[in-house]
Amino acid sequence: MPLGIMDGAVWRPVGSFGYGKGRHGQNVPLLFVDHIMSGFKATMDRPGWQEAAGISAHFGIGKDGSISQYVNLFDAAWAQGVVGAIGPNDRRGIEQYNRANPRLAELERRGEWRYITDGSMWTLTGGGVNVWNCAAVAIEHEGFTGEVWTQAMLDASCAVKRWVNDELASAGHATIPYSVEGIIGHNDIDAIDRPGCPGTGRDLGKMIAQLNAGGDDMYVRHNKVAEWFEARELGVGGSAGRGEMTARADFALPQEAKRVEFNVYLDSGNMSFYDGTRTFTDGPTLFAGEVGNRGVMVATITAALSHDGVVKFEWLGNTRVGRIVSLGYWK
């Protein structure tokens, strides 16, 4: 992939970035800024939506762990550039700005506070650009403030942050620490209009611990579909049974893979997955962006596999598989 674009994310470029149209390479990140979408990833993924809203972010992460990238890492996204106010005499946002964080304090020294009359907000500019947007990686997360993040979303956010530091090092830049200094929320910049962004649903301590634990069990997203398994009829006549499917039919399973993940959509019937001794997750767990007319998603399978890539399943009665989607694997 080109420098600044993450392999494993779905590249969905938007036009809402940069300062001066067509100017690239303005972002030299000092911070990860976590956001909550207050909505759904499917909305952010929609072509033209971010441009129409006048916003953008580098990444959007779904509750299901899916990752979209909208802006090259080294371009400045329009994500966290203003602080709320109700008039030019309202300096609460400036007073509550988290300058106790040495990186945010450093950015404040790079610019000057300027009131935007037509927007009733403050911004911090230096050298003709927004200081925050040119020094941060903006990561949006699906959901609403206060909702506890799914493990899949947390894992994907950590994977993005690890990739960013690898990419920064490759480009000769300093990496961002996995700490409360390096990972902030939008609320650390704007406590007035964004007090709940990303909100209490993000367990920052858990995230930092997971990042500092190293690269073990890193999730690799594939976003592939096992087309060969679409519209498969099982248990015709009402019988129960067992079968197997091979992950390699969809994507190559590398030797370092420990587990593989699928989503299963049923048009009818009952189906579960197992490793020979136990049944995996079974239950309706729909996330934004999933296609309802494909049937009900009955399982997210995180299956421990031998390297023959075989996943075993069983069904009860007449069962029709709408689609099996191969999400990715853990290594």
Name the token pair of 197: 């962004």
Q: Tokens representing 331?
A: 């290594």
pLDDT of residue 297: 44
b vs e for 58-87, b when ≥16 Cβ sit within 10 Å of the residue's Cβ? bbbbbbbbbbbbbbbbbbbbbbbbbbbbee
d(CA 79, CA 69): 14
Could you report the per-residue pLDDT of 198-239, keeping only the tens digit for each?
999 999 999 999 888 754 444 455 555 544 455 677 777 777
Residue 295's pLDDT is what?
A: 44
Q: Which residues contact 255 (CB under 8 A, 6 or more apart)?
A: 307
Domains and CATH numbers, the chain: 10-212 (3.40.80.10), 219-330 (2.60.120)
Asked if the model's pLDDT at residue 305 lies above 60, the reply is no
Least confident of 204-208, 249-253, 264-268: 249-253
Instruction: Write out pLDDT tens, residues 140-188.
Output: 999 999 999 999 999 999 999 999 999 999 899 999 999 999 999 999 9
Q: Is the peptide bond before 198 cis (omega within 30 degrees of 0)?
A: yes
Positive or negative, the Cα torsion across 8, 14, 16, 17? positive
Of 116-125, 181-190, 317-326, least confident by mean pLDDT is: 317-326
User: Which three-class secondary structure state does DSSP give residue 310?
Assistant: strand
Question: CB atoms < 10 A from the CB of 4, how many?
Answer: 20
Whole-angstrom Cα distance, residue 46 to residue 28? Answer: 27
Among residues 328, 329, 298, 293, the alpha carbon closest in space to that of 313 is found at: 298
User: According to the model, what pLDDT value does residue 301 have?
Assistant: 47
CA 254 to chain centre: 23
Residue 89 tokens, joined: 């005499």
Sign of the dihedral through C-alpha 27, 33, 37, 40: positive
CA–CA separation, 289 vs 63, rounded Å?
10
Q: According to DSSP H, which parts of the chain are helical?
A: 41-45, 49-53, 92-96, 102-110, 151-170, 186-189, 204-212
Return the higher-pLDDT residue of 132 and 237: 132
pLDDT tens readout for residues 68-83: 999 999 999 999 999 9
